[in-house]
Structure 1
């Protein structure tokens, strides 16, 4: 199904956001849109809603299963407006937000569904899940100049760290909130604006009245921005993403300075949750 905008989808097909979890995918370019949608469907999302320009094409099997909404993602703030519109109409529903060429991984995702993950997380009285954006990049940029290759993807095995997140009003660290850094945004920080260097995002959350997504992937309700509850560690997830690599190779200021993203801490990405758990890039918490 295809819709002219998000309001048309909600009015004509309210059932699409009535039962979750649902995935909202924002296609910034035509790279790996099909594989992103297929990955989300494989994880078990009830609906996958794809926001993209009318010019982008989809594979036949994807077009038959996805809900497509025409939109212009070049307009600043459009993503937040769309997500907040869905939040206002989908109270109680779990929502996942990502871009094309991004792939969600959570502990044991090879044998458990996204619904099982969020059912456990809900039982722990959590309404949001911290996710880390783990940069993927092609091993051979001569063969893949846009830095994207599913079959030749690499990640950094180290170089990740966290700093306290200070409250701008009190200048004291916020409780159970940290800013996380690492990956390509850390190694090439001279080409990345300071406000875009963090790799943490609240990509999975449960909608409720008054909740609003902010441009920095956080929410106006501070408990949603915490990495764990006060009494023990909670589940976290990882979003394996080519987005930073694409941007660095597309940006004229960095494209010609980078001959390869590989360094001594690069390892092939295995497309398996066990690798991310072993590297400490997500947390299983009390879920076994």
Structure 2
């Protein structure tokens, strides 16, 4: 459904602007507010080859103030947005429109433009106003896959951060962050995102998943016992260290087996249940792990 073009200029968004204002002209007693939220989180990358890592995040929209301060949300008919990134650290691979009606209908018009330093999107839900969105809950509207860049990240030894910023400066003419309600255009409240970039040596892993199959079960607890008493080998010591103590002992097997069979027992320490890295400088290593990059 997404349209990705690197060099689209004014005509597309001039058409979009015209479309967004054909739904009437009612003036709202008190302006509602919609937050446009940039993604954030943590991304991991191999210390020697950061350019091999990707990060996927979504821009979301949420209505935080209703018209007149009352209890009834305002229905939106469309929007436009822009989000910038540091091109020395990130590049966009893909950007895909994911907003739909509550029943799953695709939008009638969407235009996504990718630039070296950001992305813009313009959307009209329905040309004839068949459906609208209130976005009382945070609603993902644009999913973006970023590629990390070599250069400043290469051989870094510590985590760093970069900001994904909601801006009104991308495109020619610039695309502004607005939402359309009852035929009127309202500026969005920008909420920037922070992405933490963490280098690692070896492989990411899932703590407690000793068998490296992506799930936690009795075989993982048995795997710890086999390592301790039958001297089986492992390519990922950290996966066996379920309590993140820096050592592997029978308590790690108990931690895993209780997580599987004992209601209310704690799960393995992080990273769990998804792939990640060991943030503790405890000497643990993970050279290779089948279920993680």
TM range (shorter): under 0.3
Taking structure 2 as the reference length, the TM-score comes to 0.23
Q: Per residue, is there more strand in 1 or in 2?
A: 2
Q: Per residue, is there more helix in 1 or in 2?
A: 1
Asked which structure has the greater CA Rg, the reply is 2
Taking structure 1 as the reference length, the TM-score comes to 0.23
